[in-house]
Amino acid sequence: MKPGQYLIAFLGIVVPMLSLHAQTNAGGQDEEVRKKFLELALKADEKRRKEELQAILATFAQEGDVAKQRTAFSKLLDLKVPADEEFQILQPLLDHKDREGVAYFAMVAIGMHGKRAKPAVPKILAIFKDSSAPLFVREAAAATLGQIGDARPAVIEAMTVHLRASGLSDKFKLNLIESLGALGLDAQDAIPVIERYLKDPDLSVQVKAYYTAGKLRGERLPSLADLRKAKRLEWAKADGAYPAVMAIEAAGPQADFTVPLILQAIEEDPPTYIYCVLMRALGHAGANDPKAVRAMLDAIPIKELPLRQEVLRALKKTDISREEVVVVFADGMGDIDPFVQYQCALALRPAGPKAKKAVPALVNVLKKVDSQTSSENLGAFLELAHAIGPAAATCREPILDMLPERAGVYKDRPKMEVHMLRGYLLVTLAEIGITKEALPFVLDVLATSDNRMVQQYASAARAAGALGKDAREAVPFLMRALDPKFADRGMVLESFPRHGTALLGLDLKKLTSARIEAIRALAKIGPDAKAALPRLTQMVDDPPIAPAEYYPPYNDEARKAIQAIRGK
């Protein structure tokens, strides 16, 4: 649509709306007017969508600019046209000459339509069989056939034949096996071929083969009553104890009585894929069982990445509200493997003050921190202390020992990493209970931080606020942040700023800034911060520089600080 056409369309929609608005103000019936507003808005949106769709289809019909056609495809998906209409548009695109772009994306999108996309199966099957097609396109074709779930013999035969071939990529194997499983019991004849992959070099392929072969057998799963009668998990049988494993996974904590059976099977040294499957079952059934949690922690150092990932997923299901589980994780922080220590600290953090039983172990691990300790590990330990709060006050001593800029923990670390760590040490002290011993370090950071150290400055300002009246010496340095030229920015201080940001994946309701923290610190210092009153008074009349939902308004904070400093 040309600019002039946009203007005409705009006037054709807005002018009637303004007329209706005038009717409302003149005393017309509001409900009727609102309905007309809605009708006009819907018509406008539908007209815009149709025009955009026509432009997209015209782009696909043109020869030449592949990049423009790929952009048009992206716009098509953004339009969110009705499913049936979208499928009718996508299906012809499977024949597009841009096999690696438009045709590939169309096929992936078609897979999301599920059984509705059955008419597209012949074309997708042809792409799958085409040895001249790029590998990633054929891999996607295998996955798409599984998503559609059309178990016609030609599909099953093609997949089974291809699975017999050698030299397949791991992704191709995984897609083929999973898709055969999605085709259901009609694909049972593929079980022998799938079972060959129980000995594949890749553990992920082995595990996928185990679950798919078990699913295709279609055996009845035992009830909880049946599981109670079991003396052991018969993993060495042909079915690998699949029915029992799936029953345990489905029952979750209700099957906690099977934990001894699972641990016994683990001790029997099964194949690695069975070990992986047992760990998954343990995560479902043993979330409340200390012995199960201990077994998971013992498995973390195992080298196979898929198994480690399975263990970490299982650990996320543990019930850290139970004191006995907290004790197991606390013991794990004393493990010689740094990754085990890290995972234990991460697991305990959501428990907050309920993790106080872990404090002695946390103190010990903090005392052992040195230049070889990763910043991720130290950050996780500090986050745990922060989450526990005042009950972690005994962590204060080892944290204070790390505050000097020349402390051994910072040897050979990049300067920005040192700033990041020292800042979060101060934030943690502010949460667990800061003392005057930290004041010199707070003053040093507030006085020397530059534009590259805003996060550290904000952390020191929070620490100054926690010290209250004892931080009166910090007032001149806190006033630096009140200068309009101060390079302020938003941040979250509650969590360790991994990878240079404290915002990723965190609660934006806790968003703060260096200036906000400085104003709040001045408020907590009280009457001794009266030197800041002139600038704070100016700030009350300043317009908010950003929406309140993302950034606490400076003027609101300044108003509160003035009242606190004046003792009101």
Domain boundaries, the chain: 1-59, 440-568
Q: What is the pLDDT of residue 551?
A: 59
Sign of the alpha-carbon torsion through 317, 323, 324, 327: positive
The interaxial angle of helices 415-432 and 454-467, nearest 10 deg, is 20
Question: How many CB atoms are located within 10 Å of the residue 419 CB?
Answer: 24
Query: What does the buried/exposed string (b/e) look like for 538-556 if buried means 16 or more CB atoms within 10 Å of the residue's CB?
Result: ebeeeeeeeeeeebbbbbe
Question: Residue 497 has what pLDDT?
Answer: 78
- 477-526 tens-digit pLDDT: 999 999 988 888 888 888 887 643 444 445 566 788 999 999 999 999 99
Tell me the β-bridge partners of 490.
513
Query: What is the token pair recorded at 132?
Result: 């001249």
| Residue whose structure tokens are 């097609």 | 133
- The two tokens of residue 147 are 């998503």
**Helix 153-164 and helix 135-148: axis angle, to 10°?**
140
Rounded CA-CA distance 279/262 in Å is: 8
Write phi, then psi, for 30 (nearest 5 degrees).
Answer: -60, -45
Low-confidence ranges of the chain (pLDDT < 50): 1-28, 499-505, 547
Residues 6+ apart with CB under 8 A from 189: 156, 160
Cβ count near 230 (within 10 Å): 15
Q: How far is CA 505 from the centre of its chain?
A: 6
Q: What is the pLDDT of residue 22?
A: 47
The residue assigned the tokens 């906690």 is 256
Q: Structure tokens of 49?
A: 């969508």
CA 167 to chain CA centroid, nearest Å: 34
Alpha-carbon torsion, ordered 54, 58, 61, 65, to 10 deg: -130
Distance CA 28, CA 194 (A): 71
Q: Which helix H or strand E contains 335, and what residues bound it?
A: none
Crossing angle, helix 242-251 and helix 203-217, to 10 degrees? 90
Residue 495 confidence (pLDDT): 86
72, 261, 283 from 258: Cα distances, Å:
54, 5, 12
Cα torsion 401, 407, 410, 414: sign? positive
pLDDT digits (tens, 9 = 90+) for 195-232: 999 999 999 999 999 999 999 999 999 999 999 999 99
| pLDDT number for residue 388 | 96
Residue 113 CA to residue 72 CA, distance in Å, equals 20
Question: What CA–CA distance (Å, rounded) separates 316 from 318?
Answer: 6
Q: Where are the alpha helices (DSSP H) in 451-495?
A: 454-467, 475-478
- Residues 177, 212 contacting (CB under 8 angstroms): yes
d(CA 239, CA 416): 55
* φ, ψ dihedrals at 167, nearest 5°: 80, 15
Strand partners, 165: none
Return the exposure string of 26-49: e unless at least 16 CB atoms fall within 10 Å of the residue's CB, then b: eeeeeeebeebeeebeeebeeeee
CA nearest 300: which of 292, 311, 290?
311
